[in-house]
Every structure is written in structure tokens, then in C-alpha cells.
Structure 1
Amino acid sequence: MMRFSPRTALLVAIISLAGLMMFAWPLLLHGYERVQPPFIFLALLPLMIVVLLSELSTGGIDTRMIAILGVLSAIEAVLRAVSSGTGGVELVFFMLILGGRVFGPAFGFVLGCTSLFVAALVTAGVGPWLPYQMLGAAWVAAGAGLLPRASGRREIALLAAYGVFASYAYGLLLNLQGWPLLTGVTVPGASGNLSYDPTAGAGENLLTFLRYTLVTSTSSWDTMRAITTAIALGLLGPAVLATLRRVARRATVTGVVSTG
């Protein structure tokens, strides 16, 4: 299992804090009539690469782990291509959760970043939304590596429950950052709509956003993603977990032999 070095943990914490602020920009900006998302968030991409390079330089990712990372990222790109999210049906979270669970949160964080980046290249999905998707996927995979220990059916049930939670949380965050752009800006003081009000307070906009995401996404798209992820983990999770753990053991044994 790959672990965070102190330096990498600090970088991940900085990226995550900045990422949360960028996701929540509609709630943090107040009194601006012109809605303009903070595209400076694109600057986080180089920081994500720094995280990867930091792991390489500190030995957190050796050649074996790089090979595993490449294979899993390629698999994720294929899963993204064959289940492109139509109607919320997608299998990307399935492998992210299992990869993070077996190889740990540090590997999971890097896997989330690289998987969504490679998948975007394969599916021509590169755009200003990509850094948000990469960071969201990184959190999903890293979170799986932080889950408590379990085994057998309890572990599969735990992963399935986490998959449902992660599906809704991911959808909520992605909806939040794009909400003002999709709905437009409401007339200040107007009521009865789901649009962003730049003159309203954070609490009022949060309630409006929750109504918006409940109507447009949670009730359909996110729910289908949660169901798809939970079913895939329940049906295929045990076999894939066993395979990934065999790979992890062989990588560990090979590393011990080669350095012994």
C-alpha cells in the first residue's frame, strides 16, 4: 500500500482546500452582478502533477506502481468510453474505489487525477470542467483508501455504501460549480426559481442550489450513478478485489526481492 509522505500530504491538503473553495465559488462570491467562475482553478493542474512527481521523487511510486497506475488508468479510460454517463450510467467509480481500497489513499488520489485526464483525452472530454472532475475523482478514490478495515461481505457492503455516498457527493460538487452557468442569474429579489442570485447570501443561495440539484440531478443522474456503482461493486467487487490484491502482493514481493 502506498502512503503519503509528509510533503505530499501537505500538497494534497493545499490542493483539496483550494479545490473546495473553487467548487463552492457561487457561495463565496457575493454582490457581483456579473457571474464569472474562477478559471484560475486550472492552475491546480500543475499542482496535481507536482503531487505525482513528489511521489516519484520520494519513492512512494516505484516502477511497479507506475505500471499498475498506467494499467488502471487505461482501464478507467475504457470504462469511461463504454459507459459515458448517459442517464447517469457509468462505471468509472467502480475501479476508482477498488483501486483506492487496495493500494491506499495516496495511490487513489493520483489514480483519480490520471484516470479522468486520460479518459478525457480518449473521449474528447477536455474542457474547463476537467480539473473539477479530476479532483472530485481523486477524492473519491482516496476516500476509499481511508475506509475502515473489513473483509468478506462486510467489506463489499461497506464499499457499496461508500459508492452510493461518493456518487451523490461527487454530483453535488460538480453541480455546485456549474450551477450559475447552467441556470443563469436571477433578478435580485425574485422568488420561485432555481437560479443563482449574486446579491443573496451564502445560506439563501445554498438552499436554492439544494432545490435545484434535487430536481435536476439527485433524483435522476446521481441516483443512477449510485445504483450502477453499488451493483457493480456488489457483483464484480469480490473478484476484482482479489485480483488487485494478488497484483499488490506480487509487486511487494518483487520489490523486496529486487532490493534485498
Structure 2
Amino acid sequence: MTVVDARQRQRPVLSVGPQRAVNLRPRSVAVLALTSLVGVVAYVWPFLVGDPQAAAGTAHAQDAVVVMALLLPLLVLVTAIELGEGGFDARAVGLLGVLTAAGAALRMAGGGVSGFSPMFFLIVLAGSVLGSGFGFVLGATTMFASAIITGGIGPWLPFQMFGMAWIGAGAGWLPGRGTSAELWVAAAYGAVTGLLYGALLNLWSWPFAAAGAERISYQPGAGLAETLRRYWAFYLATSLGWDLTRAVGTVVMTLVLGPPVLLALRRAAKRAHFVHR
């Protein structure tokens, strides 16, 4: 054994280079793009119809079922493609199950009282280490599993799943992996997405909510500036406090618990041969 080989064997797991643990194949990228397109359409269609407030009593009650019926098979298809083409194997699926269960438990630990959800920091770190595709599927499955456990199943669930899936996917593109700046980058990303998640989730209900509230309700046909002003007022009144708590909590948990979690994720990736030396 050469001196170089000995040094490489002694290299700490936390210093693994910037490569992603699980790389997406082209067909998986296409399916993920299609899945995201379904999510975008689900979010924006109420803004394209004449008067969504006329259906306020059944807001997303019917289309949410359709979105869920499309989302779950697409997630299964991504996993199946990666299994067939070697991107995932049984160990990757096992790790996905473990992290999904851990994320669901963390969401329950947050209690949902203040807006803070410990699940966020795990999704961000896992997506950063294991890649965008893994982060996308993990974000969606974690939200789905936690909703089943807590009884939080409703027309809002597919929109929550898309929001967490996009956060996990975006984490796979974070710079600075394997450097001293990695935790700070992840913490900053967690803070920003903690706010954006709340702003995004508001869109699923805003066109149907606040009917009759002159200053904050959605008004079809209003100009872009007026629509943004009304949405900002709605966001301030309903979500900003919760989202700030989530953002700050994610930063604190990332900086405090991030090093051992990153170490554990990279060890799991190496033992499963996701990252090749």
C-alpha cells in the first residue's frame, strides 16, 4: 500500500468531494420534469379561470384527488427507472425508507404549533448529499408518510408534497459540498426555502380564501402589481410569522446537528456504494 492510498483510506467521510451520491438518468429527469409540470399546473390553474372564489366551498376538493393520482405513480416510475438502469438499488430504496421514516418522525416532533418543522433540515442535507432525484422523491414521500401518521390528509397534501419535493431537489444543486462552507450554504438554503415553502403553499388556497376581504383577497383581472400587493398582504396576515419560525429553526438545526447528520449520510452512501472512491 502506498502512502497516497493510506492517506485516502484515512480521509474523513465528511470530506467526500462534490459529486452526487445518486445521479439521475435521462429518462428519470424527463419523468421528474413531467411530475413538476403537473405540480405547476395544479398550483396555477385557479388563476387562469374566471372566478375561482365561486367554488370556494370545494376549493381543490376534486382536483387534489387527480393530482395525487398522477403524482404517486410518477414517483414510483422514477424509482423503477433508476432501479432498472442502475441509479438506485435495493440499498438506495432501503435508505429512502429509513430517511422517510426519520423525516416523518421529525415532523411529528415539531408539533405544528409554531410553524417550525425539524423535517426541513433533514430533507435539505439528504438532498445535498444524495442528489436532486433522491431529494425530490424523499421530500414527497416524507410529507406523504407524515400525513398518514398524523391524519393530515386533505386537498392540501399533494401541494405540500410538491413543495417538499422541490426543496429536496434544489438541495442537490447546492455548491460547496465537502468544504467548510457546506453547512452555511445549507443553512442559508434552509432559511430561504423555509420562507418560500410557506409562500408557495399559500397559493393553493389564496384564490379561494379571504373572499370578501377587500384588501387581501384575490381579484380576477387585477393587474400584476395589484395582485402581488394583495398576495403580500395576505401572506403577512396569515403565514409570515410561521415561516420565520420555520426558517430560523432550520438554520439552527442545520448548524448544530448538521455535522453528525452529514457524516452519517456520507457513511451510508459509501457503504451502499453510492459514492465511488
Question: Do Structure 1 and Structure 2 share a fold, with TM-score over 0.5?
Answer: yes
CA distance in 2, matches of 1:48, 1:28: 27
Of residues 100, 115, 125, the one that matches 1:73 is 100
Instruction: Give 1:197 shift.
Output: 1.9
Specify which of 225, 237, 242 is matched with residue 258 of structure 2.
237
Residue ranges of structure 1 left out of the alignment (5+ in a row): 187-191
Distance in structure 2 (CA, Å) of the matches to 1:146 and 1:90:
22
Q: Deviation at 1:32?
A: 5.3
Q: What is the CA-CA distance between 1:33 and the residue it aligns to?
A: 5.8
Instruction: Tell me, yes or no, if structure 1 residue 128 matches structure 2 residue 148.
Output: no
Greater shift after overlay, 138-147 or 148-157?
A: 148-157
Cα displacement (A) at 1:201: 4.5
Tell me how far apart the structure 1 counterparts of residues 104 and 198 of structure 2 sit (CA, whole Å).
19
> 2:245 and 2:116 mapped to 1: Cα distance?
6
Q: 2:67 aligns with which of 25, 41, 47?
A: 41
2:89 matched residue in structure 1: 62
Alpha-carbon distance, 1:203 to partner: 4.8
CA distance in 1, matches of 2:159, 2:258: 27
Partner SS, residue 82 of structure 1: helix
Shift, 1:185, TM fit:
5.2
8 A Cα contact 2:190 2:250, kept in partner? yes
Cα distance in 1, alignment partners of residues 149 and 193 from structure 2: 24
Structure 2: tracts of 5 or more residues without a match: 1-20
Partner of 1:211 in structure 2? 233
RMSD of equivalent CA atoms: 2.1
Which of 140, 144, 162 does residue 189 from structure 2 map onto? 162
Q: What is the percentage of aligned positions where both structures have the same residue?
A: 41
The secondary structure found in structure 1 opposite 2:167 is helix
1:157-216 deviations in Å (ceiling 9; x for gaps): 100000011111111110111113332256xxxxx4211223435553333112210232
SS in 1 for 2:114: helix
1:15-39 deviation line (CA, Å, top 9, x unaligned): 2123123223343334556245443
User: TM-score w.r.t. structure 1 length?
Assistant: 0.88
What is the match of residue 189 of structure 1? none
Counterpart mapping for 1:157-196 below 5 A: 157-184=184-211, 192-196=214-218
- The one-character-per-residue Cα deviations of 1:69-112 (angstroms, maximum 9, x if unpaired) are 11100101111111132111210111101110111111111111
Q: Which residue of structure 1 aligns with residue 45 of structure 2? A: 25
* Contact 1:25–1:177 under 8 Å retained in 2: no
The answer for the alignment partner of 1:252 in structure 2 is 273
59-68 vs 205-214, greater mean Cα deviation: 205-214
Count of residues paired in the alignment? 249
Q: TM-score, normalised by structure 2?
A: 0.83
- Contact 2:176-2:182 within 8 A present in 1 as well: yes
Residues 33/201 of structure 1: CA separation in 2 closer, same or farther (3 Å cut): farther
1:221 aligns with 2:242: yes
Equivalent pair of 1:31/1:199 in contact (CA under 8 Å): no
* Alpha carbons 1:27, 1:202 under 8 Å: kept: no
SS at match of 1:138: helix
**Counterparts of 1:6 and 1:150, CA distance in 2:** 23
Alpha-carbon distance in structure 1 between the residues aligned to 2:162 and 2:116: 20
AA paired with 2:264? T
CA contact (8 A) 1:32 1:199 kept: no
